[in-house]
Amino acid sequence: MPVHRGDARALSQPEGAFDRVLASRLLMVVPEREAVLAEARRVLAPGAFCSSRSRPGSGPVRSNGLRHAAREIGDTARYVEPREEHYFSAAAFRTFIASQHWASVAVWEANGYRYARCRTMTYDDGS
């Protein structure tokens, strides 16, 4: 699976370029999470999926996944540890995820995380 590097608020890829976007804990550490979610939605093709994971509660920043992503794209020199995480309540996470126009949204909790899987509209959905 290729990894694309870019500003998550303004990706260089065209609208509808991807069939999957994975935002695992990303929305917890970026300061402009609304812009990031909107941009993820923009680059998804019709019928494509966005998956997100967020930790409820508080605790130390666990950055192994972020550090691994930086290594994958060969950019450990510019990798910056996030200073804090944004924790969503269950209702806030559901509301935040639903702020974009999705054909379907599933939100659930398991293993200490909140998950969301969203599918974009297709022409059959009436988009």
State pLDDT tens for residues 110-124: 988 899 999 999 877
CA distance from start to end of the chain: 29
Fold exhibited by the domain 18-125:
Rossmann fold (3.40.50)
Buried b (16+ CB within 10 A) or exposed e, 92-123: ebeebbeebebeeeebeeeeeebbbebbbbee
Q: What is the pTM of this model?
A: 0.77
Tell me the per-residue pLDDT of 16-65, one tens digit each, with 9 for 90 and over: 999 999 988 888 888 889 999 999 999 999 999 999 998 877 555 555 55
The confidence score (pLDDT) of residue 39 equals 95
Domain chopping of the chain, boundaries: 18-125
63-85 tens-digit pLDDT: 555 566 667 777 666 555 666 77
Determine the pLDDT at residue 123. 76
- pLDDT score of 58: 57
